[in-house]
Structure 1
Amino acid sequence: MADDDELEGIHRGWGRRLLSTGKIAASAARLAARRVVGAEGPQDAAIGETLSRELDQMKGMAMKVGQILSYFDGVLPEGTHRALQSLQRGARAVSFTRMAEVIEAAFGEPVDALFDRFEREPIAAASIGQVYRARYRGREVVVKVQYPGIRETIAGDFSRLQGLAKIASLASSVDGPALVEELRARFIEECDYQLEGDHQNTFRAAFADDPQVEIPAAIGQRTRETVLTSEFCEGRDFYTFAAEASQARRDEVALCLTRFALRSLYELGMVNADPHPGNYLFPARDAVVFLDYGCVRRFDAEFLAAQRRLTRIVIEDRRADYDDALVAAGMVAKEKGFDFDLQWKVDCHLLAPYRTPRFHFTPEYVRAAMDLNRPGNPNLRRIAIPPQWIWVQRLQFGLHAVLTRLSAEGRFADAMHEALAMPRRPAA
C-alpha cells in the first residue's frame, strides 16, 4: 500500500507531468525501434515496467493510454504487454484515510455508518479511482471511490492539449480542437460516478433478456458524483480465463463480446467505449460480467444511419457505392487527391472479420490494421474525423484486440448482420 505521496503523482503540475511524459515517450520510442529491427528480448519487460510505473503514478488520462497499449497484440513486444497488464488492475493505491475522506464528503457521514462492513484494502486501483469490497443492507457490494482532485487534473491536462491540437491541425485536415473537446467531455463525464451508475443501470435493463450478459446493478442510495456502489460479482479475470478456458469456450465468449458491442451500437445507439480486458469477469456459469460504464457515448440518428450504410457497403463488397457513402458520412475533408481505392482497402481490412463466414483473430491481423494507418498513408492529410467516429473506432480496435488475446475464431459476420438488421431503439 502506498502512502499519501501517491497523490502527488496525480496532482503534480503540468511541468512535472510533462517530464514524466518525456520519460514515457523515450521508453516507447526504444520499444518501437527494437520492434522494427526485430531485437525483442529480456529488456522489453524492464522497459514495460518503467512505462507502467510512470503511467500508474500519473493516473488519469496517462494511465488510460497505458491500459490501451497493454492489450493490443502486435503493437508492443510480449514482455512489455505483460508488464503493462498491471495497469488494468492498478498497481499502487492511495491510502484508505484519504479515500475515506472522499466518501464522507459525498455523504456527510462516516464510512462505517454508511455500510455494514467496509474493507480497508482496495481490490483494484484504476485510472481515476479505487475499488473496495463492502456490505450494504446484507448485500455484498463493490464501492468505487474517486481520487481526490482527479477531475481538476484531467481538466488541466486537456486545457494544455487544446493548444497542441490547434498547432497539429495546421498540418492536416483534422479538426484537432474538436477532437480534443470530444475527448475532454467524455473524460470529464467519467469523473461523474452518478452518471456512470445511470449508464450502468440503462445497459443492465437493455440486456436483461440476454442470459449470456450479466451487468451488476448500481445502488443509487450509496452512489454520488465521487462514489459508485454496485452489486458484487464473482468471476475469473480475463487473463486467467484466457489461460484456463478451452478454445471452444473462448470462441463462445468472443461472440458474446461481439454481439454486446454491435447490439449496443446499432440497436441502442450508445456504446461502452472502453472494452479493455479489466472490464470483464467470467463466472462459473456460461455468462460474461460486463463492468465499468464511465466511458459511454450516445450517437445521433443521422450519424448511426451513415455508419450503418457504410458498414453494409463494405461487408457486402459494394465497391461502386463506397465513395459516395464515405463522403456522405463526413469522412473526406478534401476529395481532390483523396485515394478512395486505398481507403477501401483500409476499411475492408478493418471489417474483414465481418466479410467472411468465419474469421480467426491473430496478432498479424491487428498489426496489419495498425500499419495501414501509419503516417505514410497519404489519406491522413485529407481524411476527416467526425468527433463521434473516434468512439466507434476505439470500440472496434479495442474489441478486436480483446478477441485477438482470445485467439478467437467464429462466425462474426453473423453477429454483424444481426446487429445491422436490428431497428434502432435508443436506450432511455
Structure 2
Amino acid sequence: MKTQTSIPTSKVARAGQFVKAGVKVGGNYLKHYSKKLVNPELSKEDLHKDNAADIYDALSELKGSALKMAQMLSMDRGLLPTAYSQKFAMSQYSAPPLSGPLVVKTFRTYFGKSPGELFDRFDIKASNAASIGQVHEAWKDGKRLAVKVQYPGVADSVSSDLRIAKPLAVRLLNLNEKDIDRYMGEVESKLLEETDYSLELKRSMEISAACAHIPDLVFAGYYPELSAKRILTMDWVEGLHLKDFLLTNPSQDVRDRIGQALWDFYDFQIHTLRQVHADPHPGNFLMRQDGTMGIIDFGCVKVIPESYYDNYFRLINPDTLKNNALTEQIFDKLEYLLPSDTPKERAFFSDVFRQMIVMLGEPFAVDVFDFGNDAYFEKVYAFADNLSKMDELRSANGARGSQDGLYINRTYYGLYAILNELKANVRTTRPDWLRPEA
C-alpha cells in the first residue's frame, strides 16, 4: 500500500481537500447524467462508486476527524448506498499509512529518541492504519508490542474539519443542517478525547481491569513508560478482524461464544461501570478460532449520566410502555418530544418512538436472541427507510433526542451489526429491573 509522506495541517490546505472532493463529486454527477441521456435505464451504481472513491481518497489524505466520520458512516448500513459503506469501511484498519520519517519525527518530539532507541526492534512499516493513528509492531525485553502512533496535526484540526465537512455531510446524507448542529458538540468532544492518548491509556487500563473477569475476553497490558500524548504502547493481541475471521468458516459454537462475550462486555460496562467503549466497529475486535476475542482501542469512551441512564433504559422494560403518562414523561426528558410540539405532533412522534423502542428492544424481550435472523434486521432497515421518507419528519421543527443518546445509540447499533454478521445466538442478560413484572 502506498504511504503518505505528509498530511495537510493548515486550515487552508485541509479545506482545499474538501473543496477538491466536492469538485470531483460534481464532475461525477455531470458524467452520470450525460450517460443517462443516452441510456435512461442507467442506475446510480457507478456514480456511487466514483463518488465513494473520490471522497475516501480525499478524507484518507486528511486523516483525523475527517476520516473518522467516514469510519462512523461505514457502520450505518442503510444510511448510505453500499458503495460508500464498503469503501468507507477501509478507514477502520486499512487507511493509507504514514511514512517512516514522520513516525520517527513523532517519537523524537515526545521522547527525544527514535523508536529504534526505545525498542529492541521496531517495524517502521505500519501493520494497520486507521483514522486517528496507525499501529507498528515492536519488541522489547522479549515481549511483542503494538505501538500506536497518532498522525501529526490530527488533534489541532478536529474543530475546523467538522465545520468544513458539514456541507458535504448535508449533501451526502440528505440531512437538515440544524440536525447536524445539534450533535456537533458531542461529536467534537469525543473526537478530541480520542486524540488524547494519555486519557486513552488511563481508560484502557481501568476498563480492561474492571472487565477482566468476563469469560473469553482478552485485554492487552499497557506501558505508561513507553507512551505519551500521541504515542500508546501495549501488548500485541493476536486475532483476526471480523471479515477475515468469517472467511475461516468458524463453527456456530465459536460464533456464539464470541457473540456472548461481546454482549457481556457491553452489558457490564453500561449497567455496572456506567461508561462504555463507544466505538464498536470491527477494527476494534480481534477474534480467534478458540472462541476468545481481544478488545483494543479505548479511545472513544462515553460516560453515561445517571439521569440519562435511568430514563433511557427504563423504556426497555415493557411495563413502562403500558403506562402512557409515564412513557410521555420519559419522552420529554429524553427530548424525543419538544415543548413546541402541537398535540398532533406529540401524538405522531410518541407513536414513532414507541414503535422504534419495541423493535430495537426485541433482543431484550427474550432470554436468548438469534442475531443471525436477517428478517429482523431487514425489518429494522425498512422501518428506518420509511421514516426517512415521512413528510412529518422532514418538516419537523427540530432534531430529537438528547445529545447523550448519540453515542449510546451508536454503540447498540454497532453491537447489533457485529452480532448479526457473526450470526450469533446470545443470552441477552440485563438487570432485573429491566424485566417486566409478569
Change (3 A) 1:246 1:26: farther
Distance 2:421 2:43 in 1: 23
1:425 corresponds in structure 2 to none
* Secondary structure in structure 1 of the residue aligned to 2:336: coil
1:341 aligns with 2:355: no
Identity percentage over the alignment? Answer: 23
> Which of the residues 357, 360, 363 maps onto 1:353?
363
1:393 aligns with 2:390: no
- Deviation, 1:139, is 1.3
RMSD (CA atoms)? 3.5
- Deviation, 1:418, is 6.3
Change (3 A) 1:50 1:345: same
* Secondary structure in structure 2 of the residue aligned to 1:210: coil
Range with bigger deviation, 172-181 or 274-283: 172-181
Residue type at the aligned position of 1:288: M
Range with bigger deviation, 92-101 or 14-23: 14-23
* CA deviation map 1:281-327 (0-9, x unaligned): 0134321111111111112222211222222247x753534222222
1:201 corresponds in structure 2 to 205
1:249 corresponds in structure 2 to 254
Aligned counterparts, 1:127-142, within 5 A: 127-142=131-146
Kept in 1: contact 2:240–2:287 (CA 8 A): yes
- Deviation, 1:368, is 2.6
* CA deviation map 1:200-245 (0-9, x unaligned): 1111111111121212122111111000001101112211212321
Kept in 1: contact 2:263–2:426 (CA 8 A): no
> Which of the residues 138, 141, 147 maps onto 1:143?
147
- Deviation, 1:38, is 11
Kept in 1: contact 2:285–2:295 (CA 8 A): yes
2:388 corresponds in structure 1 to 374
2:334 corresponds in structure 1 to 329
Kept in 2: contact 1:116–1:136 (CA 8 A): yes
Aligned counterparts, 1:183-222, within 5 A: 183-222=187-226
1:364 aligns with 2:364: no
> Which of the residues 182, 192, 198 maps onto 2:186?
182
Distance 1:188 1:163 in 2: 21
Change (3 A) 1:296 1:375: farther
Change (3 A) 1:191 1:260: same
- Deviation, 1:145, is 0.5
Kept in 2: contact 1:332–1:383 (CA 8 A): no
Change (3 A) 1:213 1:68: same
Distance 1:69 1:162 in 2: 14
1:270 aligns with 2:275: yes
* Secondary structure in structure 1 of the residue aligned to 2:8: helix
* Secondary structure in structure 1 of the residue aligned to 2:222: coil
Kept in 2: contact 1:262–1:416 (CA 8 A): yes
Kept in 2: contact 1:118–1:133 (CA 8 A): yes
The structure that has the greater radius of gyration is: 2
Range with bigger deviation, 351-360 or 53-62: 351-360
Kept in 2: contact 1:4–1:94 (CA 8 A): yes
Aligned counterparts, 1:40-59, within 5 A: 48-59=52-63
Distance 1:302 1:140 in 2: 43
Distance 1:212 1:61 in 2: 32
Kept in 2: contact 1:142–1:229 (CA 8 A): yes
Change (3 A) 1:11 1:236: farther
Distance 1:72 1:163 in 2: 19
- Deviation, 1:399, is 1.5
> TM (normalized to structure 1)?
0.83
Residue type at the aligned position of 2:64: G
Residue type at the aligned position of 1:376: M
Residue type at the aligned position of 1:323: E
* Secondary structure in structure 1 of the residue aligned to 2:145: strand
Kept in 1: contact 2:315–2:357 (CA 8 A): no
Change (3 A) 1:272 1:401: same
1:312 corresponds in structure 2 to 317
Range with bigger deviation, 243-252 or 124-133: 243-252
> TM (normalized to structure 2)?
0.81
Change (3 A) 1:285 1:407: closer
* Secondary structure in structure 2 of the residue aligned to 1:130: strand
- Deviation, 1:248, is 3.6
How many residues get paired? 409
Unaligned runs of 5+ in 1: 166-170, 422-428
Distance 1:129 1:207 in 2: 25
Kept in 1: contact 2:302–2:407 (CA 8 A): yes
Kept in 1: contact 2:317–2:433 (CA 8 A): no
1:239 aligns with 2:243: yes
Distance 1:65 1:162 in 2: 11
* Secondary structure in structure 1 of the residue aligned to 2:237: coil
